[in-house]
Chains A and B, each alone.
Chain A
Amino acid sequence: DGGITQSPKYLFRKEGQNVTLSCEQNLNHDAMYWYRQDPGQGLRLIYYSQIVNDFQKGDIAEGYSVSREKKESFPLTVTSAQKNPTAFYLCASSMTGYSTDTQYFGPGTRLTVL
């Protein structure tokens, strides 16, 4: 059953702690993406990767870091430098990084920083 998994669905962390959100895909897609959704706003791109061992900053990369050591995995670390980390985080993948490729989304992780 192919798809994108994100775990956990809900995550709570204390202020000042780094936290890593998991994203795995078994669709054999080259490109992967991280978005953030806040209430009343659209999805905003944090980071994207078009190929293993390469990634690019999106519109709101400050306070976040990523790695892409394996094709299937694109973890996102929310660091203590992110000023407003509480949000719904969505991971997506597409076959290539080409703009007309459909992006498939995971179920999301809701991060709450206390």
Chain B
Amino acid sequence: DQQVKQNSPSLSVQEGRISILNCDYTNSMFDYFLWYKKYPAEGPTFLISISSIKDKNEDGRFTVFLNKSAKHLSLHIVPSQPGDSAVYFCAATHGRPGGTSYGKLTFGQGTILTVHP
């Protein structure tokens, strides 16, 4: 049962334009969401996160939007740069201490972003 889904395996964007990566989740217990970026043969690096008490979080060129009613989040990159070309993973968790899932991240399948010069 895939609780976090990234339905687009790949996305191709022109340099300078907006990249929008999407993520859907099914578990209503999730209340904290993250995006990680991964280059080939390297470990993922944290990009940006959002708590369920917010619907938007911004960090420089990166903005994450959360629509709780739709169980959907998206990552916007503006403007896109060739160095942004990587695999982007969406992840979700819930912050209730003491449970068996405490601190556990559930990842989506990833979306390969290619930014063309």
Residues of A near any B CB (own CB < 8 A): 4, 6, 9, 31, 35, 40-45, 48, 50, 56, 58, 90, 92, 94, 96-108, 110
Contact = CB atoms under 8 A, between A and B. Distances in A.
B77 interface: no
Contacts of A92: 43
Given A42-B4, A42-B89, A99 B43 contact: no
Given A41-B109, A42-B108, A110 B103 contact: no
Given A40-B109, A43-B89, A48 B104 contact: yes
Nearest to A43: B107
Contacts of B93: 99-100
Contacts of B36: 105
A78 B49 CA distance: 32
Given A56-B100, A97-B103, A108-B41, 19 more contacts: A4-B43, A9-B41, A35-B107, A41-B110, A42-B6, A42-B89, A43-B89, A43-B91, A43-B105, A45-B105, A48-B103, A48-B104, A50-B102, A92-B43, A99-B32, A103-B46, A106-B43, A107-B42, A108-B42
Contacts of A105: 36, 43-45
A90 B43 contact: yes
11 contacts: A31-B103, A42-B4, A42-B89, A43-B107, A45-B104, A50-B102, A97-B102, A98-B97, A100-B93, A101-B103, A108-B41
Chain B contact residues, majority secondary structure? loop
B82 interface: no
B96 to A, nearest CB: 8
Given A40-B109, A43-B89, A98 B103 contact: yes
Contacts of B100: 56
Contacts of A96: 103
A90 B38 CA distance: 12
A79 B6 CA distance: 31
Given A42-B108, A43-B89, A99-B94, A94 B103 contact: yes
A40 B102 contact: no
